[in-house]
Amino acid sequence: MEQALKTISTKGKYYTFLAVFVLLASALSLANAKIQEHEFVVQATPVKRLCNTHSTITVNGQFPGPTLEVNNGDTLVIKVTNKARYNVTIHWHGVRQIRTGWSDGPEFVTQCPIRPGESYTYRFTIQGQEGTLWWHAHSSWLRATVYGALIIHPREGEAYPFPKPKRETTILLGEWWDANPIDVVRQATQTGAAPNVSDAYTINGQPGDLYKCSNQGITIVPIDSGETNLLRVINAALNQPLFFSVANHKLTVVGADASYLKPFTTTVLMLGPGQTTDVLITGDQPPSRYYMAARAYQSAQNAPFDNTTTTAILEYKSAPCPAKGVSIKPVMPSLPAYNDTNTVTAFSKSFRSPRKVDVPTEVDEDLFFTIGLGLDNCPPNFSANQCQGPNGTRFTSSMNNVSFVLPSNFSILQAHHLGVPGVFTTDFPAKPPVQFDYTGNVSRSLWQPMTGTKVTKLKFGSRVQIVLQDTSIVTPENHPIHLHGYDFYIVAEGFGNFDPKKDTSKFNLVDPPMRNTVAVPVNGWAVIRFVADNPGAWIMHCHLDVHIGWGLATVLLVDNGVGLLQSIESPPEDLPLC
C-alpha cells in the first residue's frame, strides 16, 4: 500500500511537472507571438501597362499590394480605409479565422462593404498555419488589381521541415485588362454574355517582355550557382488556371495553401486561381538567364481565353555580362499545351501530406454538390441587347441547380447572429434535386437553374464530406473551388460521374493533402473532408470570378458549439453598416 502511494505521489509530481512544462512552453511561444498593425488605403493610382495608363484601384498606391510577413501565432490588425469610388472588402485568403468570421471579408456574407470614405479594421490571429497565403478584394472584380501576398513563417525559433533556403521570392501570377476591370464585368452583366478576356498575364505586376511596351520593369529573380531558394507561387489571376515553369530547372514542391507536403519534383506547376504552391529551386545550371513563364490551362472547350504568356527572368548573379549593345535572350521553358489535362492530373495526384493525418474516417454530413454553368432564358422584359449569350440567353452558373444570389441589405453572418429573418433560407439541397448523367449529354431542360440565397446548416464538430461534381452543362471545366474559414483534405478525385460504390475504395484516408482550394477536374469530381470546428458563415465558391458573379457559390453556416471557445466572437463595433 505504502509503495502504491509512493508511486501515485511520484506520478502526480511527474504529471504536475508535465503540466507546468506544457504551460511554460505554450506561454513562451505566445510570448514570441506579435501583434502587427497595418494600414491599407484603397485608392485609385495611375498604373501604366501595355503602353496605356489606367486609373487602377490599388492598396497604398502599390500594384501588386503590400506583402504581409508574419509568424505562425501572430495577430494582424489591419485598418482598411476606402478612398476609391467603389465599395470594397478585403479577404485574407486561406486564413482559418477561428472564431473571427467578422474579419473574413466576402461582401454581404460576413460583412457589408466598406463604402467610399469609410473604414473597417480586420483583426485575426494566425493559428497553426505556415507557408504562403494571400489577400485580395472580395467585391465585384476589384481583386484584378487589389491583391498581395501573406507570408507565414514558422514560430520564432522553429524551422522549415526542409533545408533553410538561401533566399525566398514571392511570384504573384496576375491577370491584366487594358481597361477598367469593373467596366468589363458591368458590360457583361448588362449584356448577359461572357466578359472580355484579359489582355495579359503578369508576374509581380509585370507582363514581361513578350508584350508591347513591357521590356522595362520585367521581374528579375536572382539566384547563384549552388544555392537552393524558395519560390512562393500564387495564382492571383481573376479567371484563369495557369501553368508555371522555369527553363531547364526542376522544382521541388514542398507546400501548398499554407500546408506542408511530402516533397516531389516536377518541371511544371498548375495553379487554379486562389491556389498557392511553395517550391525549392536549385542553381544547378550554367550561369545565365532563364525565363520563368506562365500561361493558361484552358479546359473549357470552345470558350475564348487569353492565350498570351507572361515571363520573368531567373538570373544567375555570376552570369557573364553580354558585350555592349548585345542582349542575351533568356532560355524559354517548354510549357504544356493549353488543354493538357493529363499533365494537370499527374501533378495533382502527386500531392500528399508529409505524414499520416487525422482525416475523418466516418462522416456525419454526406453532401453532394454539382458545379457548373447554365443558361437563363431571356426574361420577357429584357431586350435582345441584354441577352447576348448563346442563342439569345444569359450566362449563369450554379451549385446543385441553385444560382447563388448575395443579399443586398444585410450580411448573412449578421442576419444569422441577430436572428434577422428573410435574408437567407437554410434549404440548400444536400444532393442534386434531379439526378442525371452529370458529365454526359445533359437535357436542355436542366440548363436553367433556380436562384436563391440558400445555405447549408452544419452542427459544430460535425464530420463533413462533400463530393464536388463537375457537369457538362454548356461546357465542362476545371473549377477551383475555395472554402472560406477551413482547410480540408482532398481524399480523392477522378473523371466521369462519382460512383460511391466503386470510387470510395480509392479514398486516401492516410496522407491526403490539405488545401483551401481544390481544382475539381474537368468532366470529373473531387471529394473533400473536414471537421466543422469553426462557427460562422463560410462561403464556398468557384474562384473564377466570372463564375462567382454568375452564382457558382453557396454558404456553409456552422453553428456555435458549447461555451466561449466554440462560439464566434461578438461583432466588432466598427463593422460596416449596409
578 residues of the chain, pLDDT tens digit each:
444 444 444 434 433 443 434 333 444 445 588 999 999 999 999 999 999 999 999 999 999 999 999 999 999 999 999 999 999 999 999 999 999 999 999 999 999 999 999 999 999 999 999 999 999 999 999 999 999 999 999 999 999 999 999 999 999 999 999 999 999 999 999 999 999 999 999 999 999 999 999 988 899 999 999 999 999 999 999 999 999 999 999 999 999 999 999 999 999 999 999 999 999 999 999 999 999 999 999 999 999 999 999 999 999 998 888 777 677 899 999 999 999 999 999 999 999 999 999 999 999 999 999 999 999 999 999 999 999 999 999 999 999 999 999 999 999 999 999 999 999 999 999 999 999 999 999 999 999 999 999 999 999 999 999 999 999 999 999 999 999 999 999 999 999 999 999 999 999 999 999 999 999 999 999 999 999 999 999 999 999 999 999 999 999 999 999 999 999 999 999 999 98
Q: Which residues touch 84 (CB under 8 Å, ≥6 apart)?
A: 42, 43, 44, 57, 116
In DSSP terms, which residues pair with 36 in a beta bridge? Answer: 76
Give the DSSP H or E segment for 47.
strand 35-49
Predicted confidence at residue 24, as pLDDT, reads: 37
Neighbouring residues of 410: CB distance < 8 A, sequence distance ≥ 6: 108, 112, 420, 423, 578
Task: Look at the block and give the residue holding cell 457548373.
Answer: 372
Q: Tell which residue, 404, 239, 452, 272, has the closest CA to residue 348.
A: 272
Q: What kind and span of H or E run contains 11? A: helix 2-32
How far is C-alpha 334 from the chain's CA centre? 26
Q: How far apart, in Å, are the Cα atoms of 504 and each of 136, 140, 465, 487, 491?
A: 36, 38, 12, 21, 9
Q: What is the DSSP letter of 343?
A: H
**What b/e sequence results for 450-488 when a residue is b if at least 16 CB atoms lie within 10 Å of its CB, and e otherwise?**
eebbbbbbbebebbbbbbbbbbbbbebbbbbbbbbbbbb
Q: Residue 525's pLDDT is what?
A: 98
Parallel, antiparallel, or unpaired for β 365-377 and 463-470?
parallel
State the pTM of this model.
0.94
Cis? peptide before 64, omega within 30° of 0:
yes
What is the distance between the alpha carbons of residues 119 and 136, in angstroms, rounded to a whole number? 16
pLDDT at position 326 is 73
CB 283 within 8 A of CB 224: yes
Residue 295 to residue 312: CA distance in whole angstroms: 12
Query: Whole-angstrom Cα distance, residue 568 to residue 557?
Result: 12
Q: How far apart are CA 302 and CA 309, in angstroms?
A: 20
CB 294 within 8 A of CB 232: no
| Distance of alpha carbon 345 from alpha carbon 363, whole angstroms | 27
State residue 477's pLDDT score: 98
Q: CA–CA separation, 459 vs 59, rounded Å?
A: 38
